[in-house]
Amino acid sequence: MRYTVGMRAATIADGRILIADRPDPIPGPGQLLVRVGAAGLNGADMMQLRGLYPPPPGVPADIPGLELAGEVVALGSGATRYRPGDRVMSLVGGGAQAELAVVDESAAMPVPAALDWPAAGGFPEIFTTAHDALVSQCGLQSGERLLVTGAAGGVGTAAVQIGIALGAGVVASVRHPALRPAVAELGAQVMDPLEAAGRGPYDVILELVGGPSFEANLPALAQGGRLAVIGVGGGPRVELDLLALMGRRARVMGSTLRSRSPEEKALATRRIETDLLPLVEAGRLRVIVGEVFALEGAPDAYARFASGGKLGKIVLIPCALATGA
Amino acid sequence: MRYTVGMRAATIADGRILIADRPDPIPGPGQLLVRVGAAGLNGADMMQLRGLYPPPPGVPADIPGLELAGEVVALGSGATRYRPGDRVMSLVGGGAQAELAVVDESAAMPVPAALDWPAAGGFPEIFTTAHDALVSQCGLQSGERLLVTGAAGGVGTAAVQIGIALGAGVVASVRHPALRPAVAELGAQVMDPLEAAGRGPYDVILELVGGPSFEANLPALAQGGRLAVIGVGGGPRVELDLLALMGRRARVMGSTLRSRSPEEKALATRRIETDLLPLVEAGRLRVIVGEVFALEGAPDAYARFASGGKLGKIVLIPCALATGA
C-alpha cells in the first residue's frame, strides 16, 4: 500500500487566498519539520498576495506565512538542538500558514511557558521587527523619548512594550479612539497622530504608517534623532527636507526582515532569545492577539487584516495542538 | 597713554561681506588666542551671509569663519597643552576670518610639518566633516564601494582621499569636465553625475549636492547602504521612496559640524589627530587649495565661492606668518 502524504495549506492563486491540499514539506539539512499550532498574519502577507513581495529562493512560492509556532515532528540531517515534541517558534521565509512547515534550526526559539499557541505563533515577526528597529538600528536608550506611530497593530504593540521595558518614555499614536485604551494599558501615553507629532522632540520614532505620517513626524525628531520606517500603509513616497535632517543630525532608516540571509536571521533570533524571552517569562512582554481563525478561515482572516483598524495580531490555527510543554 | 587694541576682520553687514576694525578677542578659560595665518571658506559661511545659518551662542555674530590655522599668541587661564608660538589649526564656532581669533584648546590640533599655512587653514572643516560622515556615521569599511558627489569641492576632495586611504573603491562625480583630472589624481574613478548614479550599487554615498542628485543616487545604494547628506546646494527638498529605503535596509543621515557641543567637537578633533594626521605627515592626504585671497580680498573670495565650479578650498590669509614650526 502506498503511503500518501499531504497537508492543508493556505495558498495564493490568482491574487486570492484559498485552502488547498499540498505535499508535505521535507526538512533539509539543519532544518526541523514542525506541526504548526499557530501562524500569525503580517503586512508582508498582504503585499505578497498583491504580487508586491516575492518570497526569497528556497521557500514555497505560493504558501504564505512568515512566522509560526508548533511542535517538532521530524529532524533534518544535522539538526541537533531540538527533539520531536519540543515547542518551537520561528521566523520563516514563507510557508508558515499550513499544517506542516520546515524551519531552520538556527532560527527557531523555544516557546516560553507563558505563551499559549496563538501568542507564540504571533510572537516572532513583531517582536523581532520591533527589537531590531528599536535596539539594533535606532539604539534606543533608557530615558529617551520614543514615538510609535500606528501603535495598535502587531509591531506597534510589541514596540510599545519593548520601549517601556528598556526604560524609554513612550508616546503611541493610535488613529481609532476605540483602540487607545488597550495600548495605554501597555504603558504608553496614547493620543491621536496629530497630537503626537506636536509632542516632540523624540529621540526615536518608529514609523509604522508612512506617507503623511512620516512628513508630520520628521520635524518632531530631536537632535541626534533616529527614525526607522517599518510600514508604509499610508503611502511610500514622501517629501524629505534634507536641511531638517542635517540640522537635527538625524538618521532615517528602512528595514525589512524578510530579505535577510539565514545567518542574519539566526543572529536576530539569538538576540531575541537573550534580550526578550526572559521578559516574556517574567510577564513583562505579551502578545496582543486580536483575533484567531482556523486555517480554513484564512480568506476571512486576510480580509479582516486588510480592512485595518485591528488591535494586535491576527493568527491562524492550522492544527489543534495540546497546550503546555 | 591708553593702549589701543584692534584687529581687522571680515564682517557681515546687511548681507554683505566687508572688512572692518574690531576689538581684539580675549581668550577665556581653556582658550587660546591665535594670530590667524589662514582661514578657509565654507558653504556654511555663504549660508550665514544669507542669514540662514545663525552662529551658536558665545561666538562673534558677525565675523564669519569656521576654521583657521595660526600661531598661539596668548593663553587663557587653565590652557596648558600649547605654548605661545605653537602652530595650531582648529574648528571654531565662528570668528576665524580675522587677524586674531580665540580657539578652544580642546578643539586645537598641532599643524603637521607637511602643511603650509593655506593648507592648514583649509584642513579642519573638510577633513573633520568628511571623516565624521564616512567613518563615524557611515562606518565605511575597506573594500566597500563609495560614491562622492560634487567631489571637486573641499569636502569632496577630502572624502575621496579618506576613502582611498581606508581601502574603499571610490567613484567621484564631478559636473565640470575641466575639474575631473585633478580629482582623478587623488585616486578616484571620476565621471559625470548621471554616469556615476548608474555605476552602483554603492555601500556608502556621500551626498554633497542634494536635490535631484539625491533622488538619482538613492536607487544606487546597495543592500545595507548608508547615505550621508552634507550639502544641499542642489536643493533641500527631495522625494524619498520609503519602500526603496526599506528594501535596501538603507540609512539616510544628515549632519552638520557647527551645531555640535564643545565636547563633541573635542572628540571629533581627537579622532582626526589619531586617524588622519599620521596620513597627512606621510603625504597620503593633502589639502587641495584652489585659490588664496588676502583678508582684504574677502568680498572677492566670497563671490568666487558663490559662483561655484571651484576646485578644492578657497582660503583667506589674514596675517603673513613665517612658514615652518
CA-based nearest residue in chain B for residue A208: B242
The DSSP 8-state label assigned to residue A153 in this structure reads B
DSSP E strands in B14-81: the ranges are: 16-22, 31-40, 67-75
Task: Give the H/E segment covering residue B304.
Answer: helix B298-307
Asked if A245 and B229 come within 8 Å (Cβ–Cβ), the reply is yes
Residues of A with Cβ-Cβ distance to B246 under 8 angstroms: 229-230, 232, 254-256
Which of B109-113, B151-155, B289-293, B321-325 is the least confident region?
B321-325
Q: Tens digit of pLDDT for each residue in A261-314?
A: 888 889 999 999 999 999 999 999 999 999 999 999 999 999 999 998 889 999
Q: Give the per-residue pLDDT at B308.
A: 85
Mean pLDDT throughout A22-32?
Answer: 95
Q: Give the per-residue pLDDT at B255.
A: 83
Higher pLDDT, B309 or B168: B168
Q: Which residues contact A286 (CB under 8 A, 6 or more apart)?
A: A114, A119, A161, A280
Residue A9: band (very low, low, confident or very high) from pLDDT cuts 50, 70, 90: very high
Residues of A with Cβ-Cβ distance to B259 under 8 angstroms: 223, 247, 249
% of chain A surpassing 70 pLDDT: 98
Q: Give the per-residue pLDDT at B197.
A: 96
Asked if B243 and A232 come within 8 Å (Cβ–Cβ), the reply is yes
Residues of B with Cβ-Cβ distance to A155 under 8 angstroms: none
- What's the gap in Å between the CA of A269 and the closest CA on chain B? 18
CA distances from B101 to B37, B38, B69, B92, B316 (A): 11, 11, 10, 9, 14
- What's the gap in Å between the CA of B35 and the closest CA on chain A? 31
Residues of B with Cβ-Cβ distance to A239 under 8 angstroms: 237-240
HSE toward the beta carbon, residue A111, CA cutoff 13 A: 31
The values of phi and psi at residue B270, to 5°, are -65, -40
Decide if B98 contacts B117 (C-beta within 8 A).
Answer: no
The values of phi and psi at residue A43, to 5°, are -55, -35
Asked if B252 and A245 come within 8 Å (Cβ–Cβ), the reply is yes
Instruction: Find which of A214, A246, A251 to mutate to test the B interface (most B CBs within 10 Å of its CB).
Output: A246
Residues of A with Cβ-Cβ distance to B237 under 8 angstroms: 239-242
Q: Give the per-residue pLDDT at A125.
A: 95
Asked if B249 and A236 come within 8 Å (Cβ–Cβ), the reply is no
Instruction: Find which of A214, A245, A248, A267 to mutate to test the B interface (most B CBs within 10 Å of its CB).
Output: A245
A276: left (phi over 0), alpha (psi -120 to 50) or beta: alpha
Q: Give the per-residue pLDDT at A57.
A: 80
Return d(Cα B125, Cα B128) in angstroms, integer.
5
Residues of B with Cβ-Cβ distance to A149 under 8 angstroms: none
Q: Tens digit of pLDDT for each residue in B92-143?
A: 989 999 999 999 999 999 999 999 999 999 999 999 999 999 999 999 999 9
Give the closest residue to A148 by CA, choosing from A117, A107, A189, A179: A189
Q: Is B2 a residue whose pLDDT tops 50?
A: no
Strands B221-229 and B237-241: unpaired
Q: Give the per-residue pLDDT at A3.
A: 47
Q: Tens digit of pLDDT for each residue in B199-253?
A: 999 999 999 999 999 999 999 999 999 999 998 888 999 999 999 999 899 999 9
Is the previous residue joined to A201 through a cis bond, with omega within 30 degrees of 0? yes
Three-class SS of residue A223? strand
Decide if A111 contacts A121 (C-beta within 8 A).
Answer: no
Residue B19: band (very low, low, confident or very high) from pLDDT cuts 50, 70, 90: very high
